Amino acid sequence: MTIYRKWYCSCRGKPLELTAVETVEDEPVEPTCERCGASPSSDPRHTISYRDVDNPDD
């Protein structure tokens, strides 16, 4: 079982789940909000939140 982290941005009220964009580089992939551009390390308006989820299928 694996625990993975889901990120959300609530810049427009209702939290929107963020999706990480894969890159070809070996750089860390960070989820970014499509609507306001916030990410876990760049969250000027404090709209980013997260939830740890168990994945029983893993």
Task: Return the SS3 of 11.
Answer: coil
Which of 35, 51 has the CB closer to Zn ion? Answer: 35
Using the rule CB under 5 A, is 11 a contact of Zn ion? yes
43 touches Zn ion (CB under 5 A): no
Give the SS3 label for residue 58: coil
Task: Tell me the closest approach of the beta carbon of residue 27 to Zn ion, in angstroms.
Answer: 22
Q: What are phi and psi of 13, to 5 degrees?
A: 95, -70
Q: Which of 6, 8, 30, 36 binds Zn ion (CB under 5 A)?
A: 36
Measured CA to CA, the distance from residue 43 to residue 58 in angstroms comes to 31
Residues within window 15-34 making contact with Zn ion, judged by CB under 5 A: 33
